[in-house]
Amino acid sequence: MPRPRPPLHRIQKPLMTRRRLRMIIVCGVLLLSGVIWLLITILKPAVQRTIVITTGADGGIYHGFAERYAKVLKREGITLDIRPSSGAVQNFDRLKDAHSAYEVGFVQSGIGDAMDAPNLQTIAAVSYEPIWVFYQGTTAIDRLSQLQGKRISIGVPGSGLRIVASDLLKQNGLTQQNTRLQELGAHKAYDALKNGSLDAAFFIGRPDSQMMQTLLRSDLKLMNFVQADALVRQFPALSKVTFPRASTSLADDLPHTDVTLLAATALLVSKEALHPALVYLLLDGANEIHAGQDYFTPRGYFPNQNAEDFPISDETRRYFKSGRPFLQRYLPFWLANFIERRFIILLPFMALLFGLLQVIPRIYAATMRKRLVVWYREIKSLEDEIWATKNPTEDHVRQWRREIEEIDANANQINIPQQYFGDVYALKQAISVVRARITTVAATVAHTPPHAAITVTTDQI
């Protein structure tokens, strides 16, 4: 009698248990959480919430500008840390120091350039700063060379006015050797002009400032720069502007004629490292604060890109071409900046996450079905053995019945979600088919005489 062939891989536990699946899911979630945490950790914050700006003296023009910018930025949740300085020169010195805390400041054109400070960029030119020369005496003065030998105030050390005044006088042949140059502030220079201890003085500032209104309404004479066209060619950082007749007083017709002046340009300058989103906010502020009409420019002339001292920022070029970025127009600043800042970095991760969301359900379904597939293999192996056994014996039948009942018992214990119940009942149907086949074989064995079985086997041998 041939010995029944032992099952090759039947009656085994499923390859994927519920506990093992749970561990895999937990590990996957922990891994995904770790990746997300790593991304958040290594990325810098979307944007800082404070900007340090260097302005000028308390009560000065630059300081007034900064206070208005602070109100604009506050609407977007950004704090402007305003720090006074002695003027444009100190602002430039602070900003060109790459390690200083100062990030933004107002710099007068002609103070420095990209050779002196390669780390700076111009956000926008924001206003003209007219240069005024007041003098006393009966003789009309309209050329700087006429001031040779006189007592002249050129501004305090460290101010942009002093640099411009010195350069202009030097170009006209006036030096310390042939002219008495003094370094006085605006108020002291005015007092000296009034008491006769000074012949002329340079001033800088807007005509609506308190100091300039005092000067314009005094009996001091205002110099008309008749050589302005030649001077702006010599000094590209300066511009020619006209102070219209009667701008100070229509009733008194002050001044009595149009006055040609020279003007420096106030530049809003930042370090190149300043976050682009903050540059856009500053440009919004500049557009709101400086776009109005004044004595020298029509509405909308400022802010502009008409500056050559430092490179114009990329954000400025885009802003004047097409406005703020798309997201910043329609989303809150913090959200738009968050998306813009992280989009490029997060895009591959989002694609991976999307792929995982598509694959995980399929993996889960395959895992659930694998619990059933292992038992289908058991049934198939058992059925193949039944068909392959030409002369089954009662021992074969007993073994097959034991195995099919064990398969059925295990199938009844499979823990599987409800949506896969159809597959479970398909497995039970397959078990019933094989069980029926075993019953048919058992009936055949029971009615077969022993010698017949031997004869069959002998014939096969």
pLDDT tens digits along 341-356: 566 556 676 777 777 7
Locate 222 and state its tokens: 């205002």
Distance CA 190, CA 411 (A): 105
- Give the pLDDT band of residue 3 (cuts 50, 70, 90): very low
pLDDT tens digits along 434-445: 888 888 888 888
The sign one gets for the Cα dihedral 434, 436, 440, 441 is positive
Which residues are 129's β-sheet partners? 264
pLDDT tens digits along 298-346: 999 999 999 999 999 988 998 898 887 766 776 776 566 666 656 655 6
- Lowest mean pLDDT across 72-81, 288-297, 370-379: 370-379
Average pLDDT over residues 194-205: 96
Distance CA 286, CA 305 (A): 12
pLDDT tens digits along 121-173: 999 999 999 999 999 998 999 999 999 999 999 999 888 999 999 999 999 99
- Lowest mean pLDDT across 213-217, 314-318, 359-363: 359-363
Q: Is 253 helix (H, G, I), strand (E, B) or coil?
A: coil
- Lowest mean pLDDT across 87-101, 152-166, 183-197, 347-361: 347-361
pLDDT tens digits along 443-455: 888 776 554 443 4
- 397, pLDDT greater than 50: yes
Domains belonging to the chain, first-starting first, are: 18-37+347-460 (no CATH), 50-324 (3.40.190.10)
Q: How many other C-beta atoms can be found within 10 angstroms of the C-beta atom of residue 172?
A: 18
Q: For residues 390 and 264, which has the higher predicted lDDT (pLDDT)?
A: 264
Q: How many other C-beta atoms can be found within 10 angstroms of the C-beta atom of residue 301?
A: 17
Closest by CA position to 316, among listed 147, 123, 171, 148: 123
What is the reported pLDDT for 336?
62
What is the reported pLDDT for 322?
81
Distance CA 308, CA 121 (A): 10
Closest by CA position to 341, among listed 327, 329, 330: 327
pLDDT tens digits along 17-43: 667 778 878 888 888 887 777 666 555
Q: Could you identify the residue written with the tokens 């400086």?
A: 290
Q: How many other C-beta atoms can be found within 10 angstroms of the C-beta atom of residue 221?
A: 18
What is the reported pLDDT for 334?
56
DSSP annotation of 419 reads G
What is the reported pLDDT for 196?
94
Locate 451 and state its tokens: 């010698």
Residue 211 phi, psi (nearest 5): -65, -45
Q: For 185-304, where are the alpha helices, taking DSSP H only?
A: 186-195, 210-216, 228-234, 276-290
Locate 235 and state its tokens: 């000094």
- Give the pLDDT band of residue 244 (cuts 50, 70, 90): very high
Q: For residues 433 and 331, which has the higher predicted lDDT (pLDDT)?
A: 433
- 11, pLDDT greater than 70: no
pLDDT tens digits along 410-429: 777 777 777 777 877 888 88
Residue 424 phi, psi (nearest 5): -65, -45
Q: What is the mean pLDDT of the chain?
A: 85
Average pLDDT over residues 40-55: 73
What is the reported pLDDT for 370?
74
Distance CA 64, CA 56 (A): 9
Q: Is 242 helix (H, G, I), strand (E, B) or coil?
A: strand
Radius of gyration of the chain from its Cα atoms, rounded to whole angstroms: 45
Closest by CA position to 300, among listed 131, 124, 74: 124
Distance CA 403, CA 408 (A): 9
What is the reported pLDDT for 458?
32
Q: Which DSSP string corresponds to 114-168?
A: TTT-TTEEEEEEEEEEEEEEEE-SSS---SGGGGTTSEEE---TT-HHHHHHHHH
